[in-house]
Structure 1
Amino acid sequence: MTTLVIGANGQIGRLFCELAQQAGEPVRAMVRNDDQRAWFEARGIETVIGDLEGELRHAFEGCDQVVFTAGSGPHTGPDKTLLIDLNGAMRAVDMAAERGLERFVMVSALRVDDPLAGPEKLRPYLAAKRAADAYLKAAEVPWAILKPGRLTDEAATRRVAASLEENGGHNDVSRANVAHALLHLVQGKAENDREYPLLDGEREIDAVLA
């Protein structure tokens, strides 16, 4: 089963692609230009050039599922947030549904249910992600939505939690742990059509995503 990774050149995307390749899970990393290909090709990871603001339909050829971990981030304006985090995600969902793909895994955020509670600079991003999540839930494609807390660069522990209450109110999760959770999802080890909050914690990933 080949997984198309949209947002592969981001921090989580690279971590996930490398983990999947090491685990023998075929992935296709979608990158924006030739300059971004070298890192993946050095690791034996297939690449394809595609653009959430342009042409990307060809990237889906031969793929069975999608991981969407693209994001404009807090340093771009509302225009990029709408084009990438909302419209880009909606286009990808539509293409996955048209092709009858087996699963669409969306990397969202823990705070999307109440964007106004988030930091001011992140509110447009959280609102766009909330709308994209809702669009995915209504689409005719099996889905899973991973909702990590505040991202850190700590090393992977593979020990996570599903709620703030469970881990003592700490809102953090390492990008590396998110990548391991994504691998768990694309391997079909969790149910489809469910949301999965994710924080650093004390339980194994398979227990939290059960």
Structure 2
Amino acid sequence: MSKTLVIGANGQIGRRFCQQAAENGESVRAMIRDESQRGFFDALGVECAIGDLTGEMAAAFEGCDAVVFTAGSGPSTGPDRTLMIDLNGALRSVDLAREHGVKRFVMISTLHVDPLQGPEKLKPYLAAKRAADAYLMASSLDWIILRPGRLTDEAGSGRVTFSQAHSPGGEVSRDNVASFARAIVKYPEPEREYTLLDGNTPIAEALAQG
């Protein structure tokens, strides 16, 4: 059985991804920073590996076929953490995935990545995401980049759209992002970027339609 490494597993989308995977019998490994984060994943029966985007994390990649990168420095951190996590941490993850023979890398990015168009406080983050996305796309990995709209905590519907014209609110639930990431990890889709929003089309059907 293939195994997916979830980077940023203790975040809001990462936890949802691991919980859904556990409920569906899928093999995942949660990368956590320290033992204090283990309890949630132990309760799910999800394997954990200690790894730090700003430090040692190579061992977490061993034996994994796919990576889902959903880590983020968060809005309350400064440019230094953004640089180390959202940029350098993402670049190192791409390198380690390649070194360990990972087949697919799913990057959960942002809908808008032009720092010149973003709010002042988000400009370093958007610049980091833009550079990390470009680095992944230029790598030899089988990559997928998800660009979710404004994230909500609404219950997942399992229905999405790839068109902003079909989602006036420009929103997507974190549950739906996690569900779509689980589906695309296994779907034989070539390298592609997806705008991801809540919609009316079941995820499997949306993928089949392209």
TM range (shorter): over 0.9
Corresponding residue of 2:190: 192
Q: Which runs of 5+ in 2 are unaligned?
A: none
- Normalised to the residue count of structure 1, the TM-score between the two structures is 0.95
Aligned runs of 1:63-102 on 2, under 5 Å? 63-102=64-103
Using the size of structure 2 for normalisation, the TM-score is 0.95
**What's the secondary structure of 2:107's corresponding residue?**
strand
* Residue 158 (structure 1) aligns with: 158
Q: Is the 8 A contact 1:4 1:27 kept in 2?
A: yes
The Cα shift of 1:194 comes to 0.5
CA contact (8 A) 1:167 1:201 kept: yes
SS of 1:145 mapped into structure 2: strand
List alignment gaps of at least 5 residues for structure 1.
Answer: none
Measured on the aligned residues, the alpha-carbon RMSD in Å equals 1.1
- Write out the 4+ residue segments of structure 1 that deviate beyond 4 Å after TM superposition: none
Structural mapping, 1:130-169, within 5 Å = 130-168=130-168
Report the Cα offset of residue 99 of structure 1: 1.9
CA contact (8 A) 1:160 1:202 kept: yes
The secondary structure found in structure 2 opposite 1:165 is: helix
Structure 2 counterpart of 1:24: 25
The alignment partner of 2:31 has SS state of strand
| Deviation sequence 1:35-71 (CA, Å, 0-9, x none) | 0001100110000110000000011111111010000
Identical counterparts, % of pairs:
61
CA–CA distance in structure 2, aligned partners of residues 12 and 190 of structure 1: 23
1:103/1:192 contact within 8 Å kept: no
Q: Shift in Å at residue 190 of structure 1?
A: 4.8
SS in 1 for 2:165: coil
Cα distance in 2 for partners of 1:133, 1:208 equals 23
